[in-house]
Structure 1
Amino acid sequence: MQMRTSEAWRCAYHESMHVMGVRGHPEGDTVLSYFAKSVDSLQPLDKAMLRAWYSPRARGGMTPFEVLPILADELVKIMPDKASAMKSRDAFLSRTVAEMREFADGRGDVPTIVKQSGKSSAEAIRYGRMEMSYFLGIAYQEGVTVKQDPNQAVQWLQRAASMGSRTAQARLGAGAFAQR
């Protein structure tokens, strides 16, 4: 790891957050941002991410989409205006589900982050649509961010399975759903 001496603390916190399981590099006041101001401790956003990551509500094997509401709830807790933060959270989760559905269905645009990553090949987009279909199936099966709906769960899991998702095939094969 290369760093300026003046950035040693921030880099140590940054890498420690990765070791604790937090992936990615979000923007904002967090040690995970590459463009953070100089910090000598974890920021409120970092602490919220860790509380979400280690929440009793989180369990191994969850999809990123299943963890998203847990993180959103932790973010609401650190906001000064809780009522406004809850409205923003609900709008964000609703918009995210709508965008996931459109992308998984082949109608939505490829997410900007995927385009910018240089990984927007036809195969990568197909894989993303398969994975998004699986995430939606789990969301509807578990009632995460959406109302629990076994029919929608089966529809999205069947779509993911038909695209080659072995985890979707396994879920469908486990007989966890009443067949339509």
Structure 2
Amino acid sequence: MRKEDKKFRTREEMICDSIFIIKAPLTYATKYAMIDNICWSWTEYNGKYKGCEYWSEGALKLLNELKKDNEKIDYQKHFRHEHIVPRKILIDKILSLTNLNEEIYKNILNKFMIGTVVTVSEDENLNSLGYRQKMPVEFFEINSPEYENEWLRYKKANIIVKKGSWSDNKFITEADVCF
């Protein structure tokens, strides 16, 4: 969303608005809907596809192949903007916390609310493994070395992810994401 748009919010504004709503005497459903909206806004802050700082290796390979054809790329046809921790899991976690404040909330969003561009087949693979709206059980086991490993679904699905930035309409890889 462009900064000129009336609906644009900075990430700090999203945090403040969220805390206000979460602490207000509203229904669970209203709070859930608001946080779900924040999840999308947070992960698409720099762009749903172009601008997204995490791309799978497979998605980058496909992007480069499509660019060779010099045609306009239909991103929705070939790619998915995926949340590394399903929104439902994260929203339930946030709404279960009794000591939530702006700092805790910001840390949760920065760690768990990350958007990653994957191929359609990688998205289908995650779904076929049962991870459409779920995390592997180890994510929740406090004694597991995989406890709260935000990238665990990708690790289990063997999806390699690159972190980068965008310059001149190109993704510049800065680092491999280590699971």
Please, what TM-score do these two structures have when normalized by structure 2? 0.24
**Larger Rg over CA atoms:** 1
Larger helix fraction of residues: 1
- Greater strand percent: which structure? 2
TM-score by length of structure 1 reads 0.24
